[in-house]
Structure 1
C-alpha cells in the first residue's frame, strides 16, 4: 500500500507539473504568435465595459490564463492607462476566456499527447523561423497538457476505492461550502484555475466524485484564482488595489449566487448534457462556461455598483493620473489648425511633466531602494512612449493641412520637443537600470558621492522644469535661466568627475562604485542637454516671431 501511495503521489504531482508547463508553453506560443500586442488590445479596446469584456476574453484565450490577464489589467490601472470601470469589464471577460482551457481539456485526445509532444519538439529544435518556433511551442504545450492530464488521471484512479476520499466527496455533496473551500485552497496552492479544473475533470470522468460535489469545487476555483491579482496589487496604486478587490468581489458574489441555486444548476447541467450527449469532462467544462458567462451577464449591469463598493472598501486618493492623451481631438485638424497646434502643445507639455515625474521617481529609488518607485517609473516610461507615438501621429496629420507661418514654426518646435522628451525618458530608464545594478552588486557610495549625485539630480530636475515652462510660455527670462543652469550642470559634472578620481585614489570609493557614479552623472548631464535643446528650439521660434 505504501508503494502504491508513493506511485500515486509521484504520478499526480509529476503530471500536474507537466500540465502546468504545457499550459505555460501553449500560452507563450499563442502570445508570441499574436505579437506583443496583448497589452495594446487592453489599452486601446476598452473604451466601454462591453468592449472591455470582449478584450478580456480575447487576451485570456491567447494567454491561456485569466491570472495573466488580470495582472496585466492591474498594471494598466496602476499606470493610469485604464479606469476602474474598464478594468472590471476586462476581469469579467478574463473569467469567460479561461473556460476555453476547460473545453480544450474536455476534448479526449490524450492518446495523441506523445505524438504532439514529438511534433512540437521537431518544430522547436529543427526549424529556425519564428513562425515555426511559436507553432512548436503551441503544439508541444498542448501535448504536454494532455500528457500531464493522463498521468494525473492514472495517479488518481486508486481514489475510487479510497474510503477516506469517498467520505470527503460525500461531505462535499452534503456541505457545498466545504467543496468551495477545497477548490479555493487547491487553486491557491497550484496558482492555476486551469489545473484545478483539469483535476476535477479527471476525477469526475473517473467516477471518483459526483456532479453535486464537483460544482462547488468549480466555484471555489474561481475564488482561488484571484489571489495572484491581489498579490500583484499589494504596494501598487489605490486604483490597482480596487481592481483586485473587484476581481475578488465578482467571484465571491458569483459563487454565492450559484450556491443558492445549486440544486437547480445541477439539474440543468444533467439535462443539457443528456440533451447534447456530452462526455463527462465536457460536462465540467460546460458547467464552468455556464457559471462564468451567467455570472458576467448578471453582474455586468452592476459594474458601477461594484466600482462604488470597492472605492468604499479601499479608501484613499489615487496619486496616479490619467496617462492617455487628453487634448488630441482630430476634429480640430480640419476645422481649426491653430487650435489643433495649441492642443498638441498642451499634450507635449503633459508629456514633459511625465518625464519630470519619472526623474523624481528615479531620485526616490536611489535614496530609498523601494521597488515601487522603479515600477512607477517604468509605467511612466510606457506613458511617454505611448504619448510620443500619439502626438507624432497627430502632428503628422496636422502637417498635411495648410498652416500659417506661425503655426508651422510651432509645429516644428513641438516635433523637436517630443523627441527630446522621449530621449529624457530613455535616460531615466537608464538611471533605473543603473540603480538596479547598484542594488544587485551591493555597490556602496561614499557620503560625498551620494551628496553630489543628489545635488546633480536636483539641478537636472530644476533645469527640465524651467525648460518646460519656457516651452509653455516662451518667456525669455526663463530661457536664460535654463541656459545658466545647463552650463552649471556641465561644470558640476566635470567637477564631480575630478572629485571621484580623488576618492578612487584615496580608496574612499572602489572601481564598481566609480563606474556607477560616472554613468549616473553622464545620464543626468544628457537630460540637461535635452532640456537645453527644448529651450533652444523654443527660443529660435520666439526670435523668428519677433523678427517677423
Structure 2
C-alpha cells in the first residue's frame, strides 16, 4: 500500500471541506430555523429520556453516530439546543451506533449517506436564486450539509486504506499474550485506528476480520471495540472547531461520556467479557472464546480449507 504526499494534501483538503460545510450548515440553519425548528427539537428532547430515544433512532436510521453527533453539534452551535439536551441525544446515539455493528455482522453492509450528496446539491442550487431570504437560507443549510458529508466521505478516501488491508494488523498477534497489558494496547490501537479512518463501524469490520482469521482472541476484540468508542469522538471535535463555545462543550461532553464509559468497563474488564460470553451462549450462538482456537486449529491441520474460507 503506497501513500503519497499528494494523498496527504488531499486529506487536508477533505478536512477543510468538512469544516467549511459545518460552518455553512450552521449559519444557514440559524437563519432559516426561527422558532419552529427550536420548538420541534425542544419537544423531541424535552427530557433526558425522549432525548436519548431521539438520538438512538436517528443514529440507527442513518447508521452513523458521527453524523448524528455532528448534527447535534451544529444544532447547539446554532442555538437550537442546550448542552443538556444535546448530551441526552449523544447518549442515545452511542446506543444507536451498535445497530450498525449488528447490520455489519448479520448482513455485511452499511448505508452510504454520501451517495445522496450530489443530488442534494442539485436540489439546493435553485433555492439560492430565489427572492425569499428563508429559501436562500434553506439552500445554504442543505449545501453545507452536503459539503459536510462530502468532506467525511473524502476523508475516508484519502486516509491510508487500512480497512481493505487488514493483514497490516497481523503483527498485533505478537502483542496478544501480555495479559492486561494486551488489553490496554488494543484499546489504544482501537482509538488510533478509528481516529484515522473516521469510522467506528469500519474499525468493527476490521475487528471481525481479525477475529475470524484467528489473529486475536475474543477479549482483545472487545478491547478494540472499546477503543473505537473513544476514537469516534474525533469527528464532532473537528466539527466543533469552527463553532462557538457551546458547540465545543458538546463535543467535549461526548468525549468525556465515551472516555468515562470505557474506563469503568476496563476496571471490570474480565467480568464484562465473561458476561458477553454468557449472553452469547445463552442466545444459542456458541462460545465466542472458542473461535480463535478453532480457526488456528484449522490453519494448522487443514491449511487448504483455511485459505479457501478466507479467500
TM-score by length of 1: 0.35
CA distance in 1, matches of 2:63, 2:286: 23
- Which residue among 230, 234, 250 is the counterpart of 1:243? 250
Aligned pairs for 1:387-426 within 5 A: none
Counterpart contact for 2:281–2:287, Cα < 8 Å:
no
Aligned to 1:91: 90
Counterpart contact for 1:42–1:56, Cα < 8 Å:
no
Aligned pair 1:56/2:52, yes or no?
no
CA shift, 1:44, in A, is: 3.9
CA shift, 1:206, in A, is: 2.5
CA change 1:210–1:84 in 2 (3 A) is same
CA change 1:279–1:185 in 2 (3 A) is farther
Counterpart contact for 2:101–2:201, Cα < 8 Å:
yes
Aligned to 1:102: 101
Structure showing greater Rg: 1
Aligned pair 1:65/2:60, yes or no?
no
Aligned to 1:402: none
Aligned to 2:283: 276
CA shift, 1:169, in A, is: 2.7
CA distance in 1, matches of 2:38, 2:209: 34
Post-superposition Cα deviations, 1:325-350, rounded to whole Å, max 9, x if no partner, equal xxxxxxxxxxxxxxxxxxxxxxxxxx
Post-superposition Cα deviations, 1:226-267, rounded to whole Å, max 9, x if no partner, equal 011111111311111111110000001001000000010111
Aligned to 2:227: 220
Counterpart contact for 1:172–1:178, Cα < 8 Å:
no
Post-superposition Cα deviations, 1:119-167, rounded to whole Å, max 9, x if no partner, equal xxxxxxxxxxxxxxxxxxxxxxxxxxxxxxxxx99954797xx5x3321
CA distance in 2, matches of 1:237, 1:202: 40
CA distance in 2, matches of 1:42, 1:78: 14
CA distance in 2, matches of 1:39, 1:204: 45
Counterpart contact for 2:277–2:287, Cα < 8 Å:
no
1:175 partner SS:
helix
Aligned to 2:303: none
Counterpart contact for 1:173–1:212, Cα < 8 Å:
no
Q: Which blocks of at least 5 consecutive residues in structure 2 are unaligned? A: 4-36, 110-161, 291-311
CA shift, 1:170, in A, is: 2.8
CA shift, 1:222, in A, is: 0.5
- Which residue among 199, 205, 227 is the counterpart of 1:198? 205
CA shift, 1:205, in A, is: 2.5
CA change 1:158–1:187 in 2 (3 A) is closer
CA shift, 1:277, in A, is: 2.4
CA change 1:243–1:215 in 2 (3 A) is same
Post-superposition Cα deviations, 1:358-388, rounded to whole Å, max 9, x if no partner, equal xxxxxxxxxxxxxxxxxxxxxxxxxxxxxxx
CA change 1:75–1:280 in 2 (3 A) is farther
Aligned to 2:241: 234
Aligned pairs for 1:324-339 within 5 A: none
- Which residue among 159, 177, 187 is the counterpart of 1:180? 187
User: Higher helix share goes to which structure?
Assistant: 1
CA distance in 2, matches of 1:243, 1:212: 32
CA shift, 1:278, in A, is: 2.2
2:176 partner SS:
helix
CA change 1:271–1:41 in 2 (3 A) is farther
CA distance in 1, matches of 2:39, 2:193: 33
Aligned pair 1:75/2:74, yes or no?
yes
Aligned to 1:211: 218
Counterpart contact for 2:163–2:202, Cα < 8 Å:
no
1:278 partner SS:
coil
Alignment coverage as a number of residue pairs: 207
CA distance in 2, matches of 1:102, 1:210: 18
Q: Which blocks of at least 5 consecutive residues in structure 1 are unaligned? A: 1-5, 10-37, 114-151, 284-548
Aligned pairs for 1:142-153 within 5 A: none
1:207 partner SS:
coil
Aligned pairs for 1:511-530 within 5 A: none
CA distance in 2, matches of 1:194, 1:94: 13
1:52 partner SS:
helix
2:177 partner SS:
helix
CA shift, 1:103, in A, is: 0.5
Post-superposition Cα deviations, 1:16-56, rounded to whole Å, max 9, x if no partner, equal xxxxxxxxxxxxxxxxxxxxxx9997554011111110000
CA distance in 2, matches of 1:158, 1:231: 27
Aligned to 1:469: none
Aligned to 1:255: 262
